[in-house]
Amino acid sequence: FDLFKTNPTRLLEIYWQLICEEHKQTSVKLPPFHFGNRFFESLDEARLKRRPRYENNLKRVFRAMAGAMLGEGIWSYGGDEHHALREKILLRDSPQQERTRVIGKKTSTEKACRVRVTKEWKTTLHVHYWRCFDGRYEFANVTDDHDDSTIY
């Protein structure tokens, strides 16, 4: 838990190594990532901190983030655990959320995704993140409301 407070990047690197070893993908490099402006704030919200096993849930958040980047096993993209973050969560034909970024003269579209962290239905934790045009992952926020499609 101390690494979460002092060096969250290192914590994610550790979970990356563990996930890669579990899936026998030890030669795969950790993709570039960063934490969005509201990521840590979302983890610090009172309703998340009141949950039982808060510290254990934080570890599960970082494990799910590493799993989403590897995209193996239960974290394969496209299933119930890891999928597009839709504008309307409960409608499978709702469009995936997107954002546009302009860098120099180039305009690029980035797609929103979500990965499930815990198993409860209505109060499950989800990590919402952006797949950036340059291959980076931007971890935006964590929510405990299944129907919340907010991403920062």
What confidence tens digit (pLDDT) does each residue in 58-85 have? 999 999 999 999 998 778 888 888 999 9
The pLDDT score that the predictor gives to residue 1 is: 57
Which amino acid appears at position 7 of this protein? N
- C-beta separation of 108 from 12 below 8 A: no
Give pLDDT tens digits for 88-107: 877 778 899 999 999 889 99
Give this prediction's pTM: 0.91
Beta bridge partners of 111: 98, 131
Q: Report the number of secondary-structure helices (H) and strands (E) in the chain.
A: 5, 6
- Give residue-wise pLDDT tens across range 4-43: 878 999 999 999 999 999 999 988 999 999 999 999 999 9
